[in-house]
């Protein structure tokens, strides 16, 4: 009987420990990234859907969507993307590899689109390569910027005005640390989205 | 026990005491437990549980919505504290409940439900604070894993419901995203432990009955969701076998006099067999099915999951056949009518699958199920009359009337003829009910 009670207490301790471990592990790596990570600016095209469980957010559609590579990745296989910047200072993907090298910043994403080049080699990814480089499309590693239900639609309206003009100056600031990208801020017309909305209110 | 059985037991007590089978003291104890006061206390306790669960659910959803508002004006640290606080509070309350040995079921159910909900809310809120994209598939799997200990520790009905619901959501999103939802089965099997404990405490108790309902419904839903669906029509054999297993297993485990509510497996099995048989009286389920029509709708193929489909169908079918043989040995003739559905469905499936004239044969299989459903309705009606159970009589008549009306509507008869048939069937229905009630009153008096 005593053993059963001890088992129940042990189970309770495990339950509580596991329930704290998951959010704490999610937080800790991102906190470090926000403090020590390298800053990259990804040019974006936001829209505004609704996620009932987590409130409203501005959906981010990145301008950088592909990379040239000779590597073939299976569906759901990890892709390491080397980050660089273009002439305008926006982030681009410079390479897609199975393993990251030590130079530069890399982010890890999952291959969402499957292996569409397997006919070239007869293999299904897993380290296979092709002779000629092809365009590998990448699903955005971050696709939302959470705001509260009042501000998200305003941000969307503001964006819609900006994005339709050529050379729309909209980006998301991301910090990258050990393959983890953490979204820090959203900029519309070169200004922090919250500051922009505040200015709109003052008008 | 249902109220009917309470009444019967109270009526038997004086006889048992006069025979000397039971002493007066024990009889009094039974009167207290099952008499009006006992029943009222039980109703009050059930009412308290229902009210506390609804309250907990509303509070939990309210907390989720308030946190989802996104208090971005607050510093990140404070938002993290707000996200973790509800889960921490619930953990403290559950520890208190455990220390006090769960003095009330209402307390146990409410705190357990809130605990399970706040765990999911915390993970979601942390994702919101750090703008983590994530997806429903990963989120539901993490949430389900994190509430497994809650399931074992509290053994609350509400957590069983939440856990199975989350698992079903995960399996559905996984299948829709070209994944495989087979992990549902080992994870859902964990529910058997609290179910076993609840049944051991009181097999007719509300906790055991509710858990059986939730588990059986999740089982039925998950069968369809987790199938790889690479061979069209396999669901016909699988679902007919599954419903027959529920019908026969549920019927054998619990005594006959219990109400439909107290026999969840049997009730779901009965309803499933009738509804599925009715669907199979049409031609459409039988067309273009079988191995020749293997497909995956352009989705990614998981070869081992295809094997899971075949194995599941074979295992569930064989289990149904074993139970059917057991019924034969026990000479429970009436149950054979319902229990034999998988055999008829499998026969139909092999008749239409891949043949050169498969579409012509599909007409025959539909006819076969028309005949089967007619016999099923007739058997239920006769059994109801034989046992003097108005519910069964009406059930049997409803099956027959549904079948006749549907087939008559399919025919090209005029409105006048159709109207006439409706009136005749309605009159028969009312006449049988009136006669049956009169007969029962006479027997009673």
Q: How far is A196 from chain B (nearest CA, A)?
A: 15
Residue that has been written with the tokens 């499957």 in this structure: A114
* Average pLDDT of span B14-23: 78
Chain-chain contact of B149 with A145 (C-beta, under 8 angstroms): no
The shortest C-alpha distance from B110 to chain A (Å) reads 17
Chain A hits for B131, Cβ within 8 Å? 57, 142, 144-146, 182-183
Q: Which helix (H) or strand (E) holds A137?
A: strand A129-137
Check CB contact under 8 Å for B149 and A11.
yes
Whether the pLDDT of residue B98 is over 90: the answer is no
Triad B399, B401, B402: Cα angle to 5°: 65
CA nearest to B91 within chain A:
A16
Question: Higher confidence at residue B161 or residue B106?
Answer: B161
The encoded tokens of residue A55 equal: 């409130």
pTM of the model: 0.80
pLDDT at A120: 46
| Distances A145 to A44, B131, B333 between C-alpha atoms, Å | 11, 6, 65
Q: Verify whether the Cβ–Cβ distance B153 to A26 is below 8 Å.
A: no
Does the pLDDT at position B168 exceed 90? yes
Say what the pLDDT of residue B352 is: 83
Give the best residue of A42, A62, A77, A146 to mutate against chain B (max B CB count within 10 A): A146
Please name the member of B72, B91, B142 whose beta carbon is closest to the beta carbon of A16: B91
Torsions phi, psi for A57 (to 5 deg): -150, 160
CA distance A100 to chain B (A): 22
Q: For residue range B349-399, list pLDDT tens digits in order.
A: 888 876 666 667 778 888 899 999 999 998 998 888 888 778 888 888 889
Residue A172's closest chain B neighbor by CA? B131
Q: What is the largest CA-CA distance in chain A?
A: 74
Q: Write the residue in B70, B150, B152 that is nearest to A147 by C-beta.
A: B70
pLDDT of A164 reads 59
Give the residue with greater pLDDT, B137 vs A154: B137
Return the pLDDT at A121. 45
Q: Strand A91-97 relative to strand A129-137: parallel, antiparallel, unpaired? A: unpaired
| A15/B178 CB distance under 8 A | no
Please write down the HEC assignment for all residues of B108-134: HHHHHHHHHHHHHHHHHHHHHHCCCCC
Mean pLDDT by 10 residues, chain A (203 residues): 73 86 91 91 69 70 86 84 90 90 89 59 57 83 82 76 68 90 88 83 73
Of B34-43, B278-287, B293-302, where does the model show the most confidence? Answer: B278-287
| Candidate from B80, B145, B149 with C-beta closest to A27 | B80
The strand pair at A191-192 and A78-85 is best described as unpaired
What is the percent of chain B with per-residue pLDDT over 70, rounded to a whole number? 87
Tell me the chain B residues in contact with residue A125 when contact means C-beta distances shorter than 8 Å: none
Residue B142 has its nearest CB partner, among A22, A75, A151, at: A22
Provide DSSP, A77-89: -EEEEEEEE-TTS
Give me the residue from A11, A147, A182 closest to B72, CB to CB: A147
Mean pLDDT of B320-339: 88
Mean pLDDT of B49-61: 79
Q: Which residues of A touch B122 (CB under 8 A)?
A: 19, 23
Which residues of chain B have a CB within 8 Å of the CB of A16? 91
Helix, strand or coil, per DSSP, at residue B258: coil
Q: Is A185 exposed, middle or buried (0-12, 13-18, 19+ CB in 10 A)?
A: middle
């Amino acid at each position: 009987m005593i053993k059963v009670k001890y088992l129940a207490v042990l189970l309770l301790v495990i339950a509580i420990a596991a329930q704290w471990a998951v959010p704490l592990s999610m937080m800790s790596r991102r906190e470090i990234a926000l403090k020590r990570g390298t800053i990259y600016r990804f040019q974006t095209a936001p829209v505004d859907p609704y996620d009932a469980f987590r409130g409203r957010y501005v959906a981010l559609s990145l301008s950088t969507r592909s990379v040239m590579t000779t590597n073939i990745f299976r569906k759901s296989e990890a892709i390491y993307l080397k980050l660089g910047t273009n002439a305008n200072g926006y982030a681009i993907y410079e390479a897609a590899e199975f393993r990251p090298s030590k130079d530069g910043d890399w982010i890890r994403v999952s291959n969402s689109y499957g292996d569409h080049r397997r006919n070239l080699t007869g293999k299904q990814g897993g380290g296979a390569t092709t002779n000629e480089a092809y365009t590998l499309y990448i699903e955005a590693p971050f696709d939302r910027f959470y705001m509260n239900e009042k501000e998200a639609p305003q941000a969307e309206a503001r964006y819609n005005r900006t994005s339709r003009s050529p050379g729309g100056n909209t980006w998301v600031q991301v910090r990258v640390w050990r393959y983890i990208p953490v979204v820090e801020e959203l900029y519309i017309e070169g200004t922090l989205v919250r500051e922009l909305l505040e200015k709109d209110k003052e008008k | 026990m249902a109220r009917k059985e309470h009444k019967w037991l109270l009526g038997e007590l004086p006889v048992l005491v006069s025979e000397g089978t039971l002493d007066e003291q024990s009889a009094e104890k039974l009167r207290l437990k099952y008499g009006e006061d006992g029943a009222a206390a039980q109703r009050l306790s059930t009412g308290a549980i229902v009210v506390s669960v609804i309250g907990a659910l509303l509070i939990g959803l309210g907390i989720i919505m308030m946190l989802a508002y996104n208090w971005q004006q607050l510093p990140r640290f404070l938002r993290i504290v707000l996200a973790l606080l509800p889960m921490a509070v619930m953990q403290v309350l559950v520890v208190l409940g455990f220390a006090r040995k769960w003095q009330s079921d209402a307390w146990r159910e409410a705190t357990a439900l809130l605990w399970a909900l706040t765990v999911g809310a915390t993970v979601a809120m942390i994702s919101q604070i750090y703008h983590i994209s994530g997806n429903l598939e990963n989120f539901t799997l993490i949430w389900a894993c994190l509430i497994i200990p809650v399931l074992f520790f509290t053994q609350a009905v509400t957590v069983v419901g939440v856990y199975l619901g989350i698992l079903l959501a995960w399996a559905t999103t996984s299948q829709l995203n070209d994944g495989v939802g087979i992990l549902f089965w080992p994870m859902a099997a964990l529910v058997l432990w609290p179910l076993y404990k609840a049944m051991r405490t009181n097999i007719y108790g509300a906790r055991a009955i509710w858990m059986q309902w939730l588990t059986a419904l999740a089982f039925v839903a998950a069968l369809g969701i987790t199938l790889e669906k690479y061979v069209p029509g396999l669901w016909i054999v699988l679902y007919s076998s599954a419903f027959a297993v529920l019908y026969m297993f549920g019927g054998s485990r619990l005594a006959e006099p219990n109400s439909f509510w107290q026999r969840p497996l049997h009730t779901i099995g009965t309803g499933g067999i009738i509804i599925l048989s009715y669907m199979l009286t049409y031609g459409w389920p039988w067309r273009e099915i079988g191995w020749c029509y293997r497909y995956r709708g352009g989705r990614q193929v998981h070869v081992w999951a295809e094997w899971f489909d075949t194995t599941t169908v074979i295992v569930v079918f064989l289990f149904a056949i074993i139970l059917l043989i057991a019924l034969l040995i026990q000479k429970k003739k009436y149950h054979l009518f319902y229990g034999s559905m998988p055999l008829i469905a499998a026969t139909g499936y092999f008749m239409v699958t891949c043949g050169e004239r498969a579409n012509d044969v599909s007409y025959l299989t539909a006819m076969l199920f028309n005949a089967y459903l007619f016999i099923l309705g007739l058997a239920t009606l006769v059994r109801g009359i034989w046992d003097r159970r108005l519910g069964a009589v009406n059930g049997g008549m409803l099956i027959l009337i549904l079948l006749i009306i549907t087939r008559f509507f399919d025919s090209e008869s005029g409105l006048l003829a159709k109207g006439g048939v409706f009136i005749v069937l309605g009159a028969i229905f009312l006449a049988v009910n009136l006669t049956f009630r009169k007969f029962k009153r006479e027997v009673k008096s």
